[in-house]
Amino acid sequence: MTDLIASTALKARQLTEEEIHDIEHEKTHYPYAQAVGLEALKIVQKYQGWVSDESLLAVSEYLDIPPDELEGVATFFNMIFRQPVGKNVILLCDSVACWMLGCDDLQAHITKTLGINYGETTDDDMFTLIPVPCLGDCDRAPSMMVGRELYRNLTTEKIDQIIAEYKSKA
Amino acid sequence: MSVTNPLTKNIEDGRDPLSFKEYQAAGGYQSLDKAMKMSPRDVMGQVKDAGLGGRGGAGFNTGLKWSFSPEPDGGPRYLVVNADEMEPGTFKDRLLMEKDPHLLIEGMITSSYALSATTAYIFLRGEYTLAEERLLKAIDEAYTAGMLGQNIQGTDFSLDLYLHTSAGRYICGEETALINALEGKRANPRFKPPFPQVSGLWGRPTLVNNVETICNIPGILTHGVEWFKNLGLGDECGTRISGVSGRVKNPGCWEMPVGTTFRTLLEDYAGGMQDGYELKAFLPGGGSTDFLLPEHLDLPMIPGDVAKAGSRLGTSLIMVLDDKTCPVGCVRNLIKFFAHESCGWCTPCRDGLPWVEHILNKMEEGTGEMKDIEILQEMCGYMGPGNTFCALAPGAAEPLQSSLKYFMDEYEEHVKHGCKYKSH
Ligand SMILES: Cc1cc2nc3c(=O)[nH]c(=O)nc-3n(C[C@H](O)[C@H](O)[C@H](O)COP(=O)(O)O)c2cc1C
Ligand code: SF4
Ligand code: FES
């Protein structure tokens, strides 16, 4: 990936006004612009769904952070997506309390219902399934998030309802 | 009547957190006034005398930790609240931030006065979206009310407070990795010394404290050291949030006097084990602590006592392992987490953990060999304290080594016959 970025074939895209506005806001929180690298990637992801090479280069130029260094940050964090993801990212907790209370069965159920394994996206780009470490919600395990929403005390029935809800919103 | 539950007194199930005005009407935002009648060093002294231990896992005396920061030289100084909360089995800071964000903010303001900090950050894990929304609202309210910003309440004390949201990586909770992350760098831990108190964020004096630690500060300053000391049982000081997850009747977390026993937590607060399940062992304070057995239930939840029993109090949120869940599978799940979250800097951690995970996978699949058990034992040594840059690998070794100590028969059984537990 880094080689790709270093090659001249790829060009930074133009950041949107909204993106620049949000990045500028974050910059007021830190003495150095370089500190907002992760925030800027999160902002880009919020508007674009994921962080493409073109987006990464744009942030790199805008904040004057070398692309390799920014890529080092981007790939370090679990929640920065360097590949396209579906409209709704399902983050299923697979840590110990959720495991004890059956998250493997839930994963199997989601995989059967949506036809996607961990790391995969449905053909209609509606859902991506990703495992997430302990969501800090262990007293209501098993838990998962869809986008920014938390769902707890999950059962296969509840998962069916949640999926139906998101499908009907589309 | 004096308050006995300072951390959760404003928390009511099903109700939104108190607004700035409501919080203030309930007795909040008084601690800065009290603190400012003293010098910053004297405030540090009070926190030290109160006997408050850090709630982030290591339990070090907070006032003492603060006192290692150098005298102010007019340059920037930082307070950073560690709200990364990613230790498996830990869910207490979520409660405090979602349900009473002003308590944390008040604590940060008063602590910043004691530390002569000029800027304070909350380092929040990205998945805590509700906490994010509520903290942002509360921070706004505090600025509007003149509790943050330039010349707070007409004094010459000024403080800016910002929320940083992370993007999911357990190692960011380690305080020097957290500082790198805040600077916008890859979150590898830094070499110590220098300690962050002396040279932290952008090379400036920086204190990193856990959310719950800082939430204790308003009470100590408002009600005094004696009051705080009297909150604990016996010689212990203060209250803390402890909780239970796993197959218990009523999982959750609650504020209780420091010195409460595991048994009281498990049986009185959490209602005991679910019907049909028995307690086999428990992790006393998160995924990176050694298992304890039912015979340890009468220990008070105090770092020293738990250490004597061969474990660590850690975050004091316990996770119960029941008799119908495979202990090897449980350890495998924990190791998978640590292997995934390793920052990759040191060999025993980067290469050791995946190897351990591989062996545990074999055990679960029924292809383990007796010599694998020896390898696991050896690996505990390699990953142990002193061999790695930070405490992640030694932490990962704790559930492994204690499971080998207590459940060797189960490991041998796995080698001979595979896993007998059905669902996992
Ligand atoms: C891998 C690792 C992860 C950690 N995660 C956290 C965390 O999420 N929250 C926290 O408060 N402390 C965490 N700590 C402990 C911190 O490094 C630090 O000791 C703590 O924030 C200090 O705060 P305290 O003195 O108030 O307890 C972690 C330590 C390690 C080694
Ligand atoms: S012990 Fe693991 S997480 Fe800590 S510095 Fe070494 S490789 Fe990184
Ligand atoms: S283990 Fe799933 S929320 Fe903690």
Domain-located, residue A107 = yes
Please check whether residues A93 and A68 belong to one and the same domain: no
Model pLDDT for residues B193-213, shown as the tens digit of each residue: 999 999 999 999 999 999 999
CATH code of the domain in which B401 resides: 1.20.1440.230
Instruction: Clarify whether residues B400 and B335 are in a common domain.
Output: yes
Compute CA distances B7 → A87, B12, B215, B411, whole Å: 39, 12, 7, 42
- Find the CATH number of the domain harbouring B282: 3.10.20.600
d(CA B178, CA B169): 10
Threshold 0.90, pTM exceeds: yes
> Is B86 in Cβ contact with A134 (below 8 Å)?
yes
Mark yes or no for CB contact B333/A78 under 8 Å.
Answer: no
Task: Using DSSP bridges, classify how beta strands A88-93 and A144-146 pair: parallel, antiparallel or unpaired.
Answer: antiparallel
H/E element holding B144? helix B129-144
* Residues B91, A31: Cα–Cα separation, whole Å: 32
Atom of ligand 1 nearest to the CA of B392: 1
Whether the CA torsion A52, A53, A58, A64 is positive or negative: it is positive
Choose one of A11, A44, A74: the last residue of a domain.
A74
| Residue A127 covered by a domain | yes
Amino acid identity of residue B109, one-letter, is I
pLDDT tens, chain A, 170 aa long: 455 555 556 889 999 999 999 999 999 999 999 999 999 999 999 999 999 999 999 999 999 999 999 999 999 999 999 999 999 999 999 999 999 999 999 999 999 999 999 999 999 999 999 999 999 999 999 999 999 999 999 999 999 999 999 999 87
Q: Which of B214, B215, B217, B316 is nearest to B265 (CA)?
A: B316
B264 and B361 fall within a common domain: no
A99 reaches B (C-beta below 8 A): yes
Q: Which helix (H) or strand (E) holds B83?
A: strand B78-83
What is the pLDDT, as a whole number, of residue A9? 62
**Looking at the structure, do residues A70 and A120 belong to the same domain, yes or no?**
no
Q: Which two tokens stand for residue B234?
A: 């016996």
Q: Which stretches of chain B drop beneath a pLDDT of 50?
A: 424
- Cα dihedral B275, B280, B283, B288 sign: negative
Let me know whether B400 and B284 are in one domain: no
Same domain, A20 and A69: yes
Kindly give, in sequence order, each residue whose CB lies less than 8 Å from that of residue A38, ignoring residues fewer than 6 positions away. Answer: A73, A77, A80, B166, B167, B181, B184
A-chain CB neighbours of B245 within 8 Å are: 97, 138-139, 141
Per-residue model confidence (pLDDT) at position A3: 55
- Is residue B355 helix, strand or coil? helix
Residue finishing a domain among B319, B343, B364: B319
Residue A95 in domain: yes
Determine the residue of A98, A100, A107 to mutate for testing ligand 3's pocket, defined as the one with the most ligand atoms within 8 A of the Cβ atom. A98
Report how many domains make up chain A: 2
Q: Is residue A83 part of a domain?
A: no
DSSP conformation class of B210:
E
> Do B123 and B215 have their domain in common?
yes
Tokens of B199: 């040279």
List the CATH number of the domain containing A123. 3.40.30.10
Q: How many angstroms away from the CA of A97 is the closest CA of chain B?
A: 6
Q: Is the residue at A106 inside a domain?
A: yes
Q: Would B241 be classed as within a structural domain?
A: no
| A82 domain-assigned | no
Do B259 and B219 belong to one domain? no
Question: Is residue A151 packed enough to be buried (19+ CB in 10 Å), middle (13-18) or exposed (0-12)?
Answer: buried
For residue B390, which atom of ligand 2 is closest to its CA? 4
B153: left (phi > 0), else alpha (psi -120 to 50), else beta? left
| Best mutation target, B77, B162, B333, B334, to test chain A (most A CBs within 10 A) | B333
Position A79 in a domain:
no
B3 lies in a domain? no
Full domain range(s) for residue B342: 327-417
Q: What is the pLDDT of residue A51?
A: 97
Domain boundary among A74, A106, A127: A74
Same-domain status, B70 and B208: yes
Residue B2 placed within a domain: no
What is the C-alpha separation between B259 and B303, in angstroms, rounded?
10
How far is B131 from B122, CA to CA, in rounded Å? 11
- Examine residue B204 and state whether it is found in any structural domain, yes or no: yes
Both A61 and A122 in a single domain?
A: no
Domain final position from B278, B303, B319: B319
Rg (C-alpha) for chain A, rounded Å, is: 18
Geometric angle at alpha carbon A109, from A108 and A111, rounded to 5°: 65
Residues B215 and B260 in one domain: no
Tally of domains in chain B? 3
Q: Residue B221 in contact with residue B227, Cβ under 8 Å?
A: no
What domain range is A58 assigned to? 2-74
Last residue of a domain, one of B268, B291, B319: B319
Number of H helices, E strands in chain A: 8, 4
Min Cα separation B22/chain A (Å): 27
Query: B273 and B396, same structural domain?
Result: no
Q: Ligand 3 pocket, B287 CB below 6 A?
A: no
- Looking at residue B424, its pLDDT comes to 45
Q: What is the CA radius of gyration of chain B?
A: 22
CB atoms within 10 A of CB B39: 12
Mutation choice for A interface testing from B91, B322, B360 by most A CBs within 10 A: B91
Dihedral pair phi/psi, residue B46, rounded to 5°: -65, -45
A99 in any annotated domain: yes
Round to whole Å and give the CA distance between B221 and A24.
Answer: 37
How many contacts, defined by CB atoms under 8 Å, are there between A and B?
Answer: 137
The answer, yes or no, to whether any atom of ligand 1 lies below 6 A from the CB of B174, is yes
Within this chain, do residues B76 and B184 fall inside the same structural domain, yes or no? yes
A32 with A98, same domain? no
A102 and A66 in one domain?
no
CA distance B291 to B332: 14
Which member of A35, A105, A136 has the closest CB to residue B90? A136
pLDDT of residue B139: 98
If asked whether residues B226 and B286 sit together in one domain, one would say no
Amino acid B2: pLDDT: 84
